[in-house]
């Protein structure tokens, strides 16, 4: 007898799905039993459903293909939600299977009852309940098309008893209609002409490039060459824009470079290319520069800044149509000024990452740069939110093959190791490095056990500063005495050894290079417990009066509260090295 769960798995196979991340439960038994018996698809048993969602999102991000996660009824699928918000905001195609209580009990206040369609509505394009066998396989097919076509999350809610019911006869499943081809959007010719005229009429042009530049590296470089324009990249644009790019002058934003910030402030036209960079305070005002935006999402146009022209189109196609219309520049003054500023900013940042003979504690920049220098050319890096993202953004060099993932839109803690699991499944032959904060690592630490159980050679580097470092920095910059940020950590390396994972503890700057080399050469999972300086500051590219005032008030309050040693440590770490 063919049951509804059989049809469900058949649709997943037709969509190219190779695995489902999740935790089993009685409401999922029908589905997991079919997966157990089916060739070509496997169940990936994690320890927390949130990890399942993050892992699926990472796989989808790296491959561009549909990935799947699942949770049992009630608390099981509720645990998916935070990870699914991250998937949805990262615009990656993920199907979540939310099992439900027995269908006859819906609405009765039954054990573990929730209302999944309501709960998942905010983090999905499509969320529907399969209540009768006749809805299958059509409802799942629609969900898959929505996830792939709209690049986001779809959710199928299915009671455990419905999954076990006899399936109705249905037409054969065809992948041709199941996976929608990606449309290429090219602007109308008059819009291209208007854009070309505006660019030709302005001299000092700076490009701000984001993740929409994926697959358009050559066109972006050609445009910068034509315009003699410096390129500033966003965090999500880094992996697509930075490599092999002589026009790149770094990032802007709270964790960016001063060179990126000033390249945008000094231009007379800012060209936004495939970016929805959210921090309005870093844009030039409409009185300082004209602003033009190219984006394939109409809703993104003008959302962050007042535009002089908005173009709806895919970056690659739009730039290919634009380039023949432009007059090639010869004046390189604006570009050279930005490049010189970047060279200076880069040298200053790299100096902070050198092994210090004066410091007894490791600077986190040294760890990040050593990871970048020693990792393979096609390594995948995942970064926890907070300071690990700062160090990853500033010190992990892109090669054109490397990838950099994080919770860059949703901003959730504990994403890095979970995403590393999905990344390792997406690319089993590649090096995967999780740059984890000690707070983020501890939050979902249970799935560190999954690396052993699943046999994944993920390298986890814990930046162990015994604090929620970025939150502590935010408190200081707004004049608050740090409170509630301290962490009493174990010896993470010893903990790793106790569960069968190689542990390496780094406590001195002189240990960093050899320790990281040993970790990356090991053929199994590794935990690097990097004990780094808690007082390290991640200074943004522009310090406003309020931030300066905040730090001054913090130091005054710290002294008045008897924390003179903390102020001295802060100065020694950031000024006297």
Cβ(211)–Cβ(236) below 8 Å = yes
What are the tokens at 530?
Answer: 């990097």
- Cα dist from 218 to 62, 166, 247, 317, whole Å: 20, 53, 12, 12
Q: Which residues contact 378 (CB under 8 A, 6 or more apart)?
A: 399, 401, 402, 427, 430, 431
Q: Taking the alpha carbons of 139, 145, 148, 149 in that order, is the dihedral positive or negative?
A: negative
Q: Give me the residue label for tokens 């005229």.
A: 197
User: Could you say which of 8, 120, 257, 470 is catalytic?
Assistant: 470
User: Radius of gyration over alpha carbons of the chain, in Å?
Assistant: 25
User: Could you say which of 46, 92, 112, 140 is catalytic?
Assistant: 112
Q: Which candidate, 112, 67, 109, places its Cα nearest to that of 87?
A: 67
Residue 2 region, left (φ>0) first, then alpha (ψ -120 to 50), else beta?
beta
49 included as an active-site residue: yes
Q: Max alpha carbon distance in the chain (Å)? A: 77
431 included as an active-site residue: no
The alpha carbon torsion through 217, 220, 223, 228 (nearest 10 deg) reads -100
CA distance 54 to 254: 25
112 included as an active-site residue: yes
User: Could you say which of 8, 11, 20, 49 is catalytic?
Assistant: 49
What are the tokens at 536?
Answer: 């390290």
Give me the phi and psi of 293, to 5 degrees please.
Answer: -130, 130
SS3 content of the chain, % helix, strand, coil (to 5): 45, 15, 40
CA distance 192 to 205: 17
* Rounded (10°) angle between helices 545-560 and 564-574: 140
Q: Which residues contact 161 (CB under 8 A, 6 or more apart)?
A: 102, 103, 104
385 included as an active-site residue: yes
Q: Give me the residue label for tokens 């249970």.
A: 446
User: Could you say which of 9, 220, 385, 390 is catalytic?
Assistant: 385
Catalytic residues: 49, 111-112, 385, 470
């Amino acid at each position: 007898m063919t049951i509804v769960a059989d049809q469900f798995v058949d649709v997943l196979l037709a969509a190219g799905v190779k695995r489902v991340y999740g935790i089993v439960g009685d409401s999922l038994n029908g589905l997991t039993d079919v997966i157990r018996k089916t060739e070509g698809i496997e169940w990936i048993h994690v320890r927390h459903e949130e990890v399942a969602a993050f892992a699926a999102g990472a796989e989808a991000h790296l491959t561009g293909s549909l990935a799947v996660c699942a949770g049992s009824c009630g608390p099981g699928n509720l645990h998916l939600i935070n990870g699914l918000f991250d998937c949805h905001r990262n615009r990656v195609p993920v199907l979540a299977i939310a099992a439900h209580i027995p269908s006859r009990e819906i609405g009765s206040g039954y054990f573990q009852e929730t209302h999944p369609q309501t709960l998942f509505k905010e983090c999905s394009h499509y969320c529907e309940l399969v209540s009768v066998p006749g809805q299958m396989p059509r409802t799942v097919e629609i969900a898959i098309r929505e996830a792939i076509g709209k690049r986001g999350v779809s959710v199928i809610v299915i009671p455990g008893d419905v999954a076990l019911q006899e399936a109705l006869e249905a037409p054969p499943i065809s992948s041709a209609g199941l996976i929608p081809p990606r449309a290429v959007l090219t602007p109308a010719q008059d819009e291209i002409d208007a854009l070309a005229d505006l660019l030709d009429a302005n001299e000092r042009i700076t490009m701000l490039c984001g993740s929409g530049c994926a697959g358009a590296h050559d066109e972006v470089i050609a445009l910068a060459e034509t315009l003699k324009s410096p390129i500033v990249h966003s965090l999500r644009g880094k992996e697509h824009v930075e490599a092999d790019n002589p026009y790149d002058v770094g990032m802007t934003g709270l964790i960016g470079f001063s060179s990126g910030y000033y390249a945008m402030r000094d231009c007379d036209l800012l060209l936004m290319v495939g970016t929805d960079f959210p921090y309005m305070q870093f844009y030039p005002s409409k009185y300082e520069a004209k602003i033009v935006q190219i984006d394939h999402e109409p809703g993104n146009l003008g959302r962050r800044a007042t535009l002089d022209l908005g173009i709806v189109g895919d970056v690659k196609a739009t730039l290919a149509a634009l380039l023949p219309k432009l007059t090639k520049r010869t004046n390189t003054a604006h570009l050279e000024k930005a490049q010189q500023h970047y060279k200076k900013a880069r040298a200053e940042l790299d100096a902070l990452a050198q092994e210090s003979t004066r410091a007894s504690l490791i600077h986190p920049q040294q760890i990040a740069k050593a990871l970048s220098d020693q990792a393979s050319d096609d390594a995948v890096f995942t970064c926890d939110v907070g300071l690990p993202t700062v160090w990853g953004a500033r010190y992990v060099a892109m090669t054109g093959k490397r990838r950099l993932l994080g919770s860059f839109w949703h901003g959730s803690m504990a994403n890095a190791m979970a995403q590393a699991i999905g990344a390792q499944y997406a690319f089993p032959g590649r090096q995967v490095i999780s740059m984890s904060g000690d707070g983020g690592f501890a939050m979902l630490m249970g799935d560190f056990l999954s690396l052993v159980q699943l046999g994944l050679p993920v390298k986890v580097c814990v930046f162990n500063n015994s604090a929620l470092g970025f939150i502590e920095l935010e408190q200081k910059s707004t004049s608050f005495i740090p409170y509630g940020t301290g962490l009493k950590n174990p010896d993470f390396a010893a903990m790793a050894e106790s569960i069968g994972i190689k542990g390496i503890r780094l406590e001195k700057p002189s240990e960093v290079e050899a320790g990281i080399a040993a970790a990356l050469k090991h053929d199994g999972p590794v935990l690097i417990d990097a004990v780094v300086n808690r007082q390290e500051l991640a200074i943004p590219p522009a310090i406003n009066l309020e931030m300066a005032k905040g730090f001054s008030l913090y130091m005054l309050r710290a002294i008045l509260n008897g924390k003179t040693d903390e102020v001295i440590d802060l100065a020694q770490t950031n000024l006297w090295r």
